[in-house]
Each structure stands twice: as C-alpha cells, then as structure tokens.
Amino acid sequence: MSLMQTLRIGRLARPLEDLLRVPDHAFGYPLLRPEGLTEEAQEALLGLCPSGAFFREGRTFGLDLARCVGCGRCALARPEAVGEMKRLEVAVTRKEDLVQRVDLERGTFLDPGPPPPPRPELALPTLAFREVSAGDTGLADSEVALAGNPFNDMGRFGFSVVASPRHADALLVTGPVSRNMAEALRRTYEAVPEPKGVVAVGNEAISGGVFAGSPEVVGGVDRVVPVDVYVPGDPPRPGAILFGLLLLAGRVRQRLVGGVLR
C-alpha cells in the first residue's frame, strides 16, 4: 500500500491525499499559461499584482510563488494567462524551484534541471521539531499549530514539536527574520544536535514577504541559517506544511520543479 493509503489513524484524521488537495471553494497556487501571455496580458499582470510576484526579464516572463499572497486577482482578471494548481505538494529543497519562468519566444517553461535530493541523514522514522517565530505575524504559526490537530494529525507521520532545540532534529521557522531575532535564531540553530534540518514555513520566511526591504528585517531564514526545505504560501496551508516535513524526511519526492507540478 502507498503512503497515502496507509497513513490514516483515528476517526477524524483525513487521508493524506485529501490534505494535499486544495478545496474547490479556495484559490490554489497561480500557474502561468504560456499560450496566454500576450503583451497586453503581461502588462496587466505586472500592474495588478499587489505583491510584485510577476516579473519580466528580457524575453522571459515569470512568477515568484515566494512573493504571491494568494489573492487570486491574476486568475480572475486574466484567466487566459494564469491558471491554478489545486495541489499542496509545493514544498521544495531549492528556492529557485518556486519561480515559474516562461520563454516568451518558444512559449514554454524554462527547465531548471533536477532538484537536489533530500538529505539521507534526516530520513528518520520520527522527527522532533522546535518551532521558531523569527518575526512572524502569527498567521504561519497558526497553520503550524493546525498541522497537529485531529484532522491533520502530524503525529501519525512521526512528527512532534518539542520545547527545547537540544531535543529537536530540525527547526520550523516562520516569519521574516527581524534584526532582534537574528541572533536568537542563530543560537537556536546551533543548539540543535547534528544532523539537523531547517524548514522555512511561509513566504515571509522564504523571502521576507511584504516586509522585504524593511530596515528592521534581515530577510529570509536562509540569510541567517541554512535551509533544507522551503514551504511557500501566505500563509501555507497545513497540508503544504506536512508535505514539507515529509520532503525533509525523504518520504516523498519533490513535485514542484521550476514552479510547475510534475
């Protein structure tokens, strides 16, 4: 039996397959449609995105999921140029894989090559995490908490949260790293015994989010400590966080490559 078929424990816990599916009523992650990226559509997308997630570099048009706030304006205004990914297997081991790049001359996505594999030393039957809010608004922290509720039940996957970094196998870090928290995050990371991993949860933890460029913010987590897995979203849903933890542990393969699910 597959991982998705076997990991269902308790009356309320939902199968992993259901947790990784975006509900019909909710907006998924935006996906560029190369055939619809006319000059007019490009200008419209560049102008309407409130977070500057779209960009144009020469004859390349792109979308950075680490800057997307999930408002859905792009898909509503320009459905011919932007579709949706209704899956939550969006955690990656390489930050560049959160960026969709379209070659406008060929009308195809640029292939960044295969992603790096997970670290084999973290392929443990159980993983204990210490959560660090390095300047978060509280949204991503709430989603991490929901990953442990009876519906998501991350404990059935062997994941647990511990109070001390000395008892942890990895860190779950949320929020842009504020200048006041940079040294605390660094010391917390140093206190985790080897081998250790780091999961950056949410766009603020990946790129600084809407706080990027603020003089009070250092930036994403990887500006302070090395990051193994990036989970995009503003905030990411619990299913995306669970997939990121499974990716860290080497129990699933990375699905998002060059911003596109494969």
**230 and 124 housed in the same domain:** yes
What is the pTM assigned to this prediction?
0.94
| Per-residue pLDDT tens digits for 34-65 | 999 999 999 999 999 999 999 999 999 999 99
Structure confidence at residue 248 (pLDDT): 97
Range of the domain at 98: 29-109
| Per-residue pLDDT tens digits for 236-251 | 999 999 999 999 999 9
* 99: CATH: 3.30.70.3270
**58 and 150 housed in the same domain:** no
Going by C-alpha positions, the residue among 65, 2, 29 that lies closest to residue 230 is 65
6 in a structural domain = no
Count: domains in the chain: 2
24 in a structural domain = no
Radius of gyration of the chain measured on its C-alpha atoms: 18
Structure confidence at residue 184 (pLDDT): 97
**101 and 131 housed in the same domain:** no
**144 and 237 housed in the same domain:** yes
* 227: CATH: 3.40.50.12280
Mean pLDDT is lowest, of 67-71, 142-146, 209-213, for 209-213
d(Cα 70, Cα 193) in Å, to the nearest integer?
A: 36
**65 and 84 housed in the same domain:** yes
